[in-house]
Amino acid sequence: MEVDANQTGHYVTSSTREFRARARSARQIVQAALDRAEASQSGINAFACIASSPALACADALDSAQQGAPQRVLDATPVSVKDIINTADMPTQWGSALMQGQTPPADAVAVQRLRQAGAVIIGKTTTSEFAYKLLTDSLANGTTRNPWNREFTPGGSSGGAAASVAAGVTDFALATDAGASTRLPAACCGILGLKPTLGLVPHNQVPDGFGNIVHLGLMTRRAEDLALFLDVLAGPHASDPHSLGLPPPKALQALQVVNEPLLPRHLRIAWRPLAGNLALDPEVEAACRSLLASLEAQGATVETMNEPIANPGVPWRVLQQANWASRWHARLDEIRDRIEPGFAQGIAEGGACTGPELMAAIQKRTEIFRMVQGWFGKFDLIATPSMSAPPVRADHKVDETLTIRGRAVGDLREEWIPYLNLFNLSGHPAINIPCGLSESGLPLGIQFAAPWYADALLIRVAGWTQTHQPWKLLEASS
């Protein structure tokens, strides 16, 4: 699938623009990104692998072919890929000692599309072991830290991806989102993080293509880059049944619409401050409500949804632990001393799950989809906090209770990010948009969810916010 400039409009990244104008060679552009990645490692530790040799070889090939070659939309643009997404020319190690040194035989479909668009992959970003938790630390790679304040987590499990984009190492990071893993790190690090509609970006690595809850995630600092990224990656592929027959999102075209406001007139927004959790930090709520008030000033209507719902983290945990168990439970005694105790516990709990319990979680997922779909009968967007409290400390434990304003509120997943699990189970597209800084100077985020295949609407909201209520970027990356 070759991707040329005519397919995605006229916008290109600054790297591609420089390459086309011959202001810098592809090697110079890529080497600068590699240098930024290396320089950031001692502070934030965002990369499991910095792939200098294959990245520079790719850059040299772009330079050699530049004369007379067709222009592609990401030519010479450095990108990163999360270390659970397959890359044929560098290891994919899943943040685990079990997978060290393993290089897959072929690229994932999304990686193929990045390369076909001219992008250069500079390395693999860190993740928690098998992406199992909301923090990014592992026995294999150590602790990844938030570039805003290294004492705090960048979130997980795609923490390396978010930290590297926030620090300006690359403009794009390809990640995953099975239950928060793109939107939470994006919120913790003050960038955009999109979980597209299920199947819009095909995922050929998931073992269950039909019951899948794992989405590929897109991270950028700018709405234009996010739109371009989605246009490059979206499109049907035979490996993913949810992708078949889908039209292109035309996200960049929607963002560049002429003689029409980015925000549709009379936009109807539902604000849901809780999603089965017990508490919401007042400063998080204030930041979210401030952005919603700005949207109301532009003609949107905002209505609060207070009716309680069951915490979606409960069925999500059953589905995800059963997934882990299907791969590892038979070998648990053999591998237990080589994996994290929390991951081992999740595998064990998944292995103990009965058929009726698993089917109840599957059916609960359908119930959640129908509930959320019903909300869109009245509203265009659902708004929630991206997280109920600011980023936790980098040394927070996976089984440590979440504390809000000095009060212990409960399980980290169920109390911090149930808003995000909700839309993994329903499959609806959802985005984190930065909406301010906490009292201690850490990023805060608001999540917007839209009907299936309305991904471009979410990016338009991000584009409007970027113009009218711009989020702060790290000074080092400005």
Are the beta carbons of 449 and 423 closer than 8 angstroms? Answer: yes
Are the beta carbons of 415 and 407 closer than 8 angstroms? Answer: no
Question: Which structural domain, as residue segments, surrounds residue 225?
Answer: 5-477
- pLDDT for residue 2 is more than 50: no
Residue range 113-121: mean pLDDT, rounded: 98
- pLDDT for residue 13 is more than 50: yes
Q: Looking at residue 262, what is its pLDDT? A: 87
Phi/psi for 79 (5° steps) reads -135, 165
Q: Looking at residue 10, what is its pLDDT? A: 80
State the total domains in the chain. Answer: 1
The string of DSSP letters for 282-343 reads: HHHHHHHHHHHHHHHHTT-EEEE-------THHHHHHHHHHHHHHHHGGGHHHHGGGS-HHH
Least confident span in 145-159, 255-269, 450-464:
255-269
What is the reported pTM?
A: 0.96
- pLDDT classification of 66: cutoffs 50, 70, 90: confident
Q: Looking at residue 478, what is its pLDDT? A: 34
Q: Looking at residue 477, what is its pLDDT? A: 44
- pLDDT classification of 253: cutoffs 50, 70, 90: very high
- Measured distance CA(286)–CA(279) in Å, rounded: 14
Q: Looking at residue 8, what is its pLDDT? A: 53
- pLDDT for residue 430 is more than 90: yes
Q: pLDDT tens-digit profile of 310-319?
A: 999 999 999 9
Residue range 129-148: mean pLDDT, rounded: 98
Q: Looking at residue 68, what is its pLDDT? A: 74
Q: pLDDT tens-digit profile of 336-366?
A: 999 999 999 999 999 999 999 999 999 999 9
Residue range 254-277: mean pLDDT, rounded: 91
- pLDDT for residue 332 is more than 50: yes
What's the N-to-C CA distance of the chain in angstroms? 34
CATH (domain of 201)? 3.90.1300.10
- Measured distance CA(356)–CA(367) in Å, rounded: 16
Token digits of residue 379: 């509203």
Residues contacting 286, CB < 8 A, separation 6+: none
Q: Looking at residue 1, what is its pLDDT? A: 42
- pLDDT for residue 334 is more than 60: yes
